[in-house]
Amino acid sequence: MHNVVPLKVHYYGTPVVLISSTNPDGTTNLAPMSSAWWLGDRAMLGLASVSRTPQNILRTGECVLNLAPAESVEQVDRLALLTGEPVLSPRKRETGYRYEPRKFEVAGLTPQESDLVRPDRVRECPIQLECELVTSHDFGATCTALEVRVVRSHVDESVVIPGTAYVDPLKWNPLIMKFCDFFGDAQPLTASRLAEGWSMPGRVAAASTGVGDRTSE
Ligand SMILES: Cc1cc2nc3c(=O)[nH]c(=O)nc-3n(C[C@H](O)[C@H](O)[C@H](O)COP(=O)(O)O)c2cc1C
């Protein structure tokens, strides 16, 4: 039986992204977020407008999307109640946020120079996407939706299907945020007809033939 439930939160499970952006003093800010999705070479990012990150991206027109692996959960969690914005909103103050300009050091993450944009990448993230801002618009009363274009992708060889330009979905283990809790180690369920239609290499085989088997390799 379904009940009508006035849900307070719609965070059904999305990958955690560490967004690097450039502060007004030229240093790199780092912020965890999970309201992100991709289509083609574009990504949409949903961010609270009072945060430092959207302000940095709107001012500079660029950022890096560092996709956090499940094993980085402790480092990500250290960033959870930090902001690079020196003036805290009343809501952030109540929630327990504090201003922190040295996010890489506090989290125990390593900055790595980018090729085409100014903010540093995060070495510990196997997938790092250098991006430029395309457009933005208000999203509800307090948020900003930023559309960005991926201009360069850096992928650690450990998660690439050898000899291809594809990420191996069995090797890439994203950190997932579901209703404000962290999840990882997602297991394949069944063969996907979308993957078949796209002729994706290294497709996961139907569950009946064994979880994790591939149709080609
Ligand atoms: C796992 C995780 C996911 C988050 N997802 C979002 C999000 O999707 N959008 C958002 O505005 N804030 C999100 N936050 C909160 C931001 O990290 C927070 O607003 C922070 O102040 C941003 O840093 P900044 O102010 O330096 O930009 C998330 C935090 C964590 C720990």
Tell me the pLDDT tens digit for each residue of 75-115: 999 999 999 999 999 989 998 999 999 999 999 999 999 99
Q: Are 49 and 144 in contact (CB under 8 A)?
A: yes
Does pLDDT of 209 surpass 80? no
Q: Say if ligand 1 is within 6 A of residue 31 CB.
A: yes
Answer positive or negative: Cα dihedral of 126, 76, 47, 61. negative
Longest Cα separation, the chain: 56
Which atom, in ligand 1's list, is nearest to the CA of 46? 9
Which of 166, 174, 177 lies closest to 204, judged by CA? Answer: 166
pLDDT one-digit tens code per residue, 55-71: 999 999 999 999 999 99
Confidence of residue 31 (pLDDT cuts 50, 70, 90): very high
pLDDT score, position 206: 57
Distance 194 CA to ligand 1 centre (A): 31
Least confident of 23-32, 97-106, 129-138, 172-181: 172-181
Residue type, 13: G
Query: CA separation (Å) from 177 to 74, 111, 192?
Result: 13, 23, 23
Answer positive or negative: Cα dihedral of 65, 70, 75, 77. positive
Model's pTM, two decimal places? 0.93
Which atom, in ligand 1's list, is nearest to the CA of 31? 23
